[in-house]
Amino acid sequence: FLIHYIFTGCQVVGPHQPVVALVDDDVILPCHVEPAEDVTAEILEWTRFDLNPRFVHVWRSGQDLVNTRNPSYRGRTSLFINELKLGNISLKLSRVKLSDEGTYECSIPLMEKKSFVKLVVGK
């Protein structure tokens, strides 16, 4: 593990258990890099592979990239911008819908780092 760690640098870490939310709740999908590292300048992607387009939220060149985003999430997602410098890539999802239930991938594509967050939505 140690040798693997030295060659790959930081890891993207998600929660060990599913995140549970009710319809219309606001919810945080947790994701962060370990050890903590400033990721403000990285490309950060929240995606769902069962959707087309698959992008839930994309951060690039120090800002949100809006036009590739899946329309179902328009205006409902945000990163905690002040936390990015601490390696915190958690996503805030507002006004949760039943269709938000699924598995989200949180990734830093250029570093080939990713982790998964499962969201369960109750009525």
Ligand X SMILES: *[C@@H]1O[C@H](CO)[C@@H](O)[C@H](O)[C@H]1NC(C)=O
Which residues of this chain interact with ligand X, rule CB under 6 A?
28, 30, 32, 80, 83, 88, 90
Task: Supply the minimum distance, in Å, between the C-beta of residue 122 and ligand X.
Answer: 21
**CA 10 → CA 32, 64, 86, 100, 112, distances in Å?**
10, 23, 13, 29, 11
Task: Supply the minimum distance, in Å, between the C-beta of residue 46 and ligand X.
Answer: 14
Find tokens 């606001």 and name the residue.
26
Task: Supply the minimum distance, in Å, between the C-beta of residue 44 and ligand X.
Answer: 13
Q: What length is written for the chain?
A: 123
In this complex, which beta carbon is closest to ligand X, that of residue 32 or of residue 69?
32
In this complex, which beta carbon is closest to ligand X, that of residue 32 or of residue 48?
32
